[in-house]
A = this chain, B = another copy of it.
Amino acid sequence: MNQSLICPRFEKAMNILSKRWTGLIIYQLLSGPQRFCNIESAIGISGRLLSERLKDLESEGIVKREVFPETPVRIEYSLTEKGRSLEPLMKEIEKWSQTWLEPENSKE
């Protein structure tokens, strides 16, 4: 057997990144802090899942939630340093997708 077991940190990273929507949320937040409903409509996720994912990402220290007690209250989500450090990775995905994928309109 030549299998070397996979590194637990790599596996953990994959667990985070391979959850549906996580990547798109991080990518979307790279363009700057923004509100719940903005992310929601930009990537086409439902409120239910966005709420869930943002909590996950917050607990991973990747996303920061800030409440501005204005009127009406404004809540902004942004990337932490840990979150912003995923930018090179996102750029790699972008690069790969530009080189190897055709845009698809239909639901394959």
Known: A3-B38, A38-B3. A98 touches B18 (CB 8 A): no
Partner of A8, one of B13, B23, B103: B103
Q: Interface digits, A1-40 against B, CB 8 Å rule (1 contact, 0 not)? A: 1111111111111100111111110011001001000100
Interface size on A, residues (CB 8 A): 48
How many copies the complex holds: the figure is 2
B96 in contact with A43 (CB, 8 Å): no
Residues on B with C-beta less than 8 A from A43 are: 6
Q: Contacts A13-B94, A13-B101 given; 8 further ones with Cβ under 8 A? A: A2-B38, A9-B98, A12-B103, A17-B23, A18-B20, A85-B100, A89-B89, A89-B96
A residues sitting closer than 8 Å to B (CB atoms) are: 1-14, 17-24, 27-28, 31, 34, 38, 41-43, 82, 85-86, 88-89, 92-94, 96-105
